[in-house]
Structure 1
Amino acid sequence: MLQAIGGPVPPNTDHAVSVSLPTWRATVGYEEGADWVVSKMQCGYPRFFVHPRIQQLAQEIVRRVGNPESETATLFASLKTARICHTFILSKVSPEEAQNVRVVSFVPSQQTEEESTTITSSLVAVVYQKEFAPIAKQVWQHTGNGISSRRGEFCLRALEDGFLVEEQKSTTSETLSQRPWQGIFEWNLAWLLRLYSHTHGHPPATNRVEDGRDNAQFIEERFGRNLSTKLADQAKLAVRKRIAGVLTADVELPEALETSSSEGRVSGISENDVLLYPSGMSAIFNSHQTLMSARGPLKSICFGFPYTDTLKTLQKWGPGCLFYGHGSSEDLDDLEARLKNGERFLGLFTEAPGNPLLRTPDLVRIKALADQYDFAVVVDETISNFLNINVLRYADIVVSSLTKIFSGDSNVMGGSAVLNPQGRYYKLLQDTFGREFEDIYWAEDAVFLERNSRDFVARIEQINLTTEDITAMLKASPLVKDVYYPKYSPTRPLYDSLRTPNGGYGGLFSVTFHSTEESIAFFDTLEVFKGPSLGTNFTLSSPYVVLAHYLELDWARSFNVDPDLVRISVGLEEVSDLRSRVQRALDAVEKAKK
């Protein structure tokens, strides 16, 4: 099932969050910017590759407000997030170069009708010289605050139809900061008819039945279910209830809003303790920013080998970061010595378990140190998720990428931050988030995420069982050097102490072989989708270290992360089918060994 380079994963998905890099060589070519790979990229992981719809929107904006020959733009959903990008660029360029870096806001035009509201949005562009694009890309990648492809698609149609205009060209004299609705615009049925004509080449007839449906029904099914403000708000509420743990039943949206099936992850938790963000990194970035706002600009701690953008965020937006890449007991000894000597920190950021070695930090000891020496604990639970382990009791904030197994379908981004109502900073964080949080999670994305996550519980149970079977198979093979999985990790006792009553070991593992050639043979032969991301309903693999750390392989190796490691995220395939695929890949390793 060798998929073409650069196609969406899954195939035929307009808003896919992964992209096909089907061979080891293709992954290296992507990292090196080789034209034979890059020229074929139809999409990519959204924080690393700007979706074609967003590219088109940025080009159209620059055509209207700038110079397409020399300028480009990065797009955000709010003035606040745009200003983060603007400030970051200004910090990296000279005062002379900074003069043309500007923020351009877009607002409803006068022709926007104000009846029958269906959806709200906002759009703010940071326009700059093309040579500054690598600087802006850091903001897009590390903060995760950029607009989603669905929002970009929507705004592009609005801009083309004249419903969205540059702010100073609007007839009103109010500034964006003076508007209580912060640049929100409203669409009605007439605009949806225009959008339909753009999409399909002609508008649906307004007074006739088409395929047994009248026009109002057709519009409701084609757009309204995804673009209704009311529906989006309900979807967000249901998602927040699921994340709080008070909703575990696979039910339709109306019933979900009435159902509370458990006590939640910790005593006293509710959906009000859950904040939604456009991506997992946005949840991490904004948690860090909120902590600094609440406690002051103190240095942070990054504990354990992290997802790359977490470390970069802590290093680039704040007074710095103390990095413990091994995440070991010796590292905690060193931290404790520093604390005893008077060093103070904002918070400790860690993953449970970590990526890609699936090691689990000692959260009990970390929490004890945090309580004694007054720092916050932020835990990223993305890898195993809250159905398998409960880390909230040891954290002040738990963050997660909802893009992964919570969604599963690999067609929508999302992130969450959960406050621990039993945490020492709860009231302070609640008040600070209350002042500073802005809901910029796009309505359509929320609807897709809610639908995708309804069967979350059943999917996790199946994936846990399949992954245990496949890892046992690999662990028993003499061709395999190491299998990295919480069940086989030296930190398994720490993981087990976090497990929920029905929790398993998750769907992600890594495997290494005895040579680079053997790793390549295994990866290239393995008949699954290949590309970035994890937690998909289909099995997905990547040479993760090459993909995430290509320019710092020696640095990764210094923390015992093998550059030849193959990471596998197990999906919903039948165990027998997946075992057959893995066996064929192992047969290729045997041949490479000879």
Structure 2
Amino acid sequence: MLQALGGTVPPNTDHAVSVSLPTWRANVGYEEGEDWVISKMVCGYPRFFVHPSIQKLAQEIIRRHGNPETETATLFASVKTALLCQSFILSKLPAEDARKVRIVNFIPSPHAEAGPTTVTSSLSAVIYPKEHAPISKQVWQHSGNGISSRRGEFCLRALEDGFLVEEKVPATSAESLSQRPCKGPRRYQGKGSITGITRSPPAEASPLANGVEDGRDYAQFIEERFGRNLSTMLANQAKLAVRKRISGVLTADVELPEALEADSAEGRVAGISEDDVYLYPSGMSAIFNAHQTLLASRGQLKSICFGFPYTDTLKILQKMGARLFDLDDLEARLKNGERFLGLFLEAPGNPLLRTPDLVRIRSLADKYDFAVVVDETISNFININVLRYADIVASSLTKIFSGDSNVMGGGAVLNPQGQYYKLLKETYERDYEDIYWAEDAVFLERNSRDFVARIDKINSTSENITAMLKDSPLIKEVHYPKYSPTRPIYDSLRNPNGGYGGLFSVTFHSNAEAIAFYDTLEVLKGPSLGTNFTLASPYVLLAHYGELEWAKSFNVDPDLVRISVGLEEVSDLRSRFKTALDAVERARK
């Protein structure tokens, strides 16, 4: 039985990454903000829908430090990320409204300082009038720096029990806060915390809630919060194992102890190590911070968003540079004297699965002095190696690296052979904040242990299903790297045992046929990709609802259906797709 409208995807998952939109009409209703859809949503993709645990935490902060009638809050894991949000809101408001936008910081109380491996969290709340929520939402969505739902649960309990208290600082202005010294590198900074978050001691003792007053110590609080089922004390080791997997120096499917003890093999490129990998709360955060790093290291030049990009990558860059779809156009601009900070692209692209000519792009970058940032999320580094042509490779670890669709994460990898490596490395080590939450790291490491084996199965199944669909006259076109006009470029990037990935898109001869296919296909349906279960979405409708004609002008069919293949048996999936094709045939008649 398929998941009901608004339910978690996967079902019965407290921290699910996707939400069920099981019919075409439901997707339209979601985009139109219709109550019959919105009112039933118990979750959503975390950068678009604030998880209930985070909503509760924000409400509690406003109850204590704001006006519940007129104000709300957006929550971040550090002062730095909160300041970015505050600055963006202030840039959109008249000067007289500035005082209404403020930051309240929370830090672990002295009672939470139980030892060098204590799980703690800082928290920064940007408080502002409710009417400015749409502005703050842009930062939450496009930067990807917001807190995770697991951190939200932890902080709410810690706040209520007196283990998380307001930080008392003499200065309250954003300018004063922004002048705090940055002690880099911050990968594991902060005594008494495994979250890597820098914090200052309270300026004065804060009133404590019932937890401390009742005599409950912090060890008991941690035991009650995490139980015996989660080794949060291994979070730093989990992060190390994840970074070893992402760098390519660990490709075996092994448990955490073996991952930590295994000798490092040759990684993606010569000289790479896990120290060239930086973890973030989401893939979008990795991309956003890659752009911030380039600005900090190379100056205030404009960037290029190349190809048909993921919608939020586009939003980050659209006011900062050019959007280009043709390398001849790019080369002509460069020859004419235009200069750029960096070029951001996907390989392959979403949703047409075409692969940009990275050899030519790298040649232009070397000649005209710009950086190349590649998002490899769709095919992943087991299938293709794009790092050799990039300066930074970003990836959403939320997707196939995790697979279980129950934790967010992102990674940025530096190419040690890249022309800007030394400069970028110095900037990352100076400015990087490890704000990836301990619990999330543990779940991500666990989920990724069988990453290689899952990729192999999904590659094989996807080739089988796409071949079946390509042979059907009911399908207008199958978009998949294997059948793409850019296949020779993709093949040149493939690793020796690499495949074509688990994502493909299909188009139909009419809107009615697309709807019939989507509504009939018996798989889970919602945003996201790279899940261990097959997941379908009318991607263009969701990602570009307000600009469907623009998408169509680039030969991106508004009625396209995107499929992310999971671990189901091939025979089972073929039967489900056959049933959906039968519905297409009936719609045609």
Flag whether TM exceeds 0.5 (same fold): yes
Secondary structure (helix, strand or coil) at the match of 1:221 reads coil
CA RMSD of aligned residues (A): 2.0
Retained in 2: the 8 A contact 1:302–1:311? yes
Per the alignment, residue 205 of structure 1 pairs with none
Per-residue CA deviations over 1:274-333 (Å, capped at 9, x if unaligned) read 1110000000000000001000010101110000000111134xxx21101xx3xxx111
Retained in 2: the 8 A contact 1:511–1:567? yes
2:486 to 491, 498, 513: 491
Q: Distance in 1 between matches of 2:263 and 2:277?
A: 15
Retained in 2: the 8 A contact 1:521–1:592? yes
Q: Is 1:246 the counterpart of 2:241 in the alignment? A: no
Retained in 2: the 8 A contact 1:54–1:153? yes
Structure 1 residue 358, shift from structure 2 partner:
0.3
2:218 to 191, 196, 204: 191
Q: Is 1:395 the counterpart of 2:398 in the alignment? A: no
The one-letter code matched in structure 2 to 1:74 is: T
Q: Is 1:356 the counterpart of 2:351 in the alignment? A: yes
Per the alignment, residue 211 of structure 1 pairs with none
Structure 1 residue 2, shift from structure 2 partner:
2.7
Retained in 2: the 8 A contact 1:121–1:184? no
User: Cα 1:359–1:184, aligned 2, differ >3 Å: closer, same or farther?
Assistant: farther
Secondary structure (helix, strand or coil) at the match of 1:509 reads strand
Retained in 2: the 8 A contact 1:301–1:349? yes
Structure 1 residue 111, shift from structure 2 partner:
3.9
Retained in 1: the 8 A contact 2:112–2:118? no
Per the alignment, residue 202 of structure 1 pairs with none
Q: Give the percent of matched residue pairs that are identical in Structure 1 and Structure 2.
A: 76
Retained in 1: the 8 A contact 2:20–2:526? yes
Structure 1 residue 530, shift from structure 2 partner:
0.2
Per the alignment, residue 88 of structure 1 pairs with 88
Q: Is 1:221 the counterpart of 2:224 in the alignment? A: no
When structure 1 is superposed on structure 2, of 79-88 and 261-270 the one drifting more is: 261-270
Q: Matches of residues 267-416 of structure 1 in structure 2 within 5 Å? A: 267-316=270-319, 320-324=320-324, 327=325, 331-416=326-411
Secondary structure (helix, strand or coil) at the match of 1:6 reads coil
User: Cα 1:196–1:29, aligned 2, differ >3 Å: closer, same or farther?
Assistant: farther
Q: Is 1:157 the counterpart of 2:157 in the alignment? A: yes
User: Cα 1:370–1:169, aligned 2, differ >3 Å: closer, same or farther?
Assistant: closer
Retained in 1: the 8 A contact 2:108–2:121? no
Structure 1 residue 6, shift from structure 2 partner:
0.8
Per the alignment, residue 187 of structure 2 pairs with none
User: Cα 1:262–1:133, aligned 2, differ >3 Å: closer, same or farther?
Assistant: same
Structure 1 residue 113, shift from structure 2 partner:
4.7
The one-letter code matched in structure 2 to 1:221 is: R
When structure 1 is superposed on structure 2, of 307-316 and 28-37 the one drifting more is: 307-316
Structure 1 residue 162, shift from structure 2 partner:
1.1
Secondary structure (helix, strand or coil) at the match of 1:483 reads strand
Aligned length in residues: 559
Structure 1 residue 169, shift from structure 2 partner:
8.9
Structure 1 segments, 4+ long, off by >2 Å, are 108-118, 174-197
- TM-score for both structures, normalised by structure 2: 0.92
User: Cα 1:2–1:60, aligned 2, differ >3 Å: closer, same or farther?
Assistant: same
Per-residue CA deviations over 1:108-150 (Å, capped at 9, x if unaligned) read 2344353474313210000000000000000000000000000
Structure 1 residue 193, shift from structure 2 partner:
2.8
Retained in 1: the 8 A contact 2:54–2:153? yes
2:542 to 533, 544, 547: 547
Secondary structure (helix, strand or coil) at the match of 1:128 reads strand
User: Cα 1:175–1:514, aligned 2, differ >3 Å: closer, same or farther?
Assistant: closer
Q: Distance in 2 between matches of 1:340 and 1:115?
A: 59
Structure 2, unpaired ranges of 5+: 171-175, 184-189, 191-197, 203-210
Structure 1 residue 164, shift from structure 2 partner:
1.1
Q: Matches of residues 446-485 of structure 1 in structure 2 within 5 Å? A: 446-485=441-480
The one-letter code matched in structure 2 to 1:72 is: T
Q: Distance in 2 between matches of 1:117 and 1:240?
A: 20
Structure 1, unpaired ranges of 5+: 200-218
Per the alignment, residue 207 of structure 1 pairs with none
When structure 1 is superposed on structure 2, of 188-197 and 26-35 the one drifting more is: 188-197
Per the alignment, residue 127 of structure 1 pairs with 127
Per the alignment, residue 109 of structure 2 pairs with 109
The one-letter code matched in structure 1 to 2:504 is: F
Retained in 2: the 8 A contact 1:249–1:261? no
Per-residue CA deviations over 1:401-434 (Å, capped at 9, x if unaligned) read 0000000000000000000000000000001111
Per-residue CA deviations over 1:162-202 (Å, capped at 9, x if unaligned) read 111221299xxx989479743379999933534666x7xxx
Q: Distance in 1 between matches of 2:288 and 2:505?
A: 27
Secondary structure (helix, strand or coil) at the match of 2:545 reads helix
Secondary structure (helix, strand or coil) at the match of 1:480 reads coil
Q: Distance in 1 between matches of 2:36 and 2:200?
A: 42
